[in-house]
Amino acid sequence: MLGKSKKTDSGKLVSPDRPLEGKSSTFLSRSTARDEKTIIGEHISIEGSIRGEENLEIEGSMKGNIELEKHNFRIGPNGQVEGEINARNVSISGEFKGNIKSHEKVEITREADFYGEIKAKSISIEDGAYIKGVIELDREPNRKSTDAQKPNATAAPETGKAPGAPR
């Protein structure tokens, strides 16, 4: 996609009219509208860091850190990323190794292979995703851990035999 215009999700044609920060920024096509995104195509490999002020999607491979504090980041189904991500919302459909810090939500889809750590306000995970990692959700201070799951006092136990007795 080097030097070529690229169609964004909204169908508009965009061109790489301004390089982004990062070693391989000339390989990126860039959208012009604030809510559009830059896509790194699947035949592109990048080593280095990216810092930006717009949404970013990676379909290629990348080794390095991504800093998009107020914007969204997505790894497409063919994307492979290794590094640290700091973004508002993060969606992983490809392969990721590293740590994610999201200020809002992390989404892991069924195609994803995830190895690393997630710190986020919320998370959604589809069945079929592979995860080896650690998940740390922002917790409300002073929340009582078991309140929400307190069993109903009137609910009868469903055990077929007395508690504690091995069968």
Partner 1 sequence: MATSITQDPRDPNVALSPTSHTSEVLELFLNSLVRLKDGQVLDMGPVCEENILFFASRLRRHYVCDMFLRLIREQKIARHSRNVWRHLDYPDRFFDGIHLWDLCDHLDDKKVSQVIEHCLLMLQPGGLLMLVAFEKPPSPVRINSFIIQHHYRMSYRVQPHLNIAWHCRHNRALMSLLTGFSIVKSLRYRNGIREILLKKPL
The contact set with partner 1 (CB under 8 A) reads: 108, 110, 123-137, 139, 145-146, 148-152, 155-161, 163-167
Smallest distance from partner 1 to CB 158, Å: 5
State which residue, 3 or 163, has the beta carbon closest to partner 1: 163
At residue 94, the 3 state secondary structure works out as: coil
Q: How far is the CB of 66 from partner 1 (least distance, A)?
A: 23
Q: 17 or 147, CB closer to partner 1?
A: 147
Of the pair 11, 155, the CB lying nearest partner 1 is at: 155
Smallest distance, partner 1 to C-beta of residue 30, A: 34
Q: What is the CA radius of gyration of the chain?
A: 21
Q: How far apart are CA 47 and CA 155, in angstroms?
A: 57
Task: Closer to partner 1 by CB, 11 or 163: give it.
Answer: 163
The least CB distance from residue 127 to partner 1, in Å, is 6
Measured from the Cβ of residue 80, the count of other Cβ atoms closer than 10 Å reads 19
Distance between CA atoms of 138 and 152, rounded to whole angstroms?
Answer: 27
Instruction: State whether the Cα torsion 16-20-26-27 is positive or negative.
Output: negative
Instruction: Name the residue among 126, 125, 118 with its Cα closest to residue 100.
Output: 118
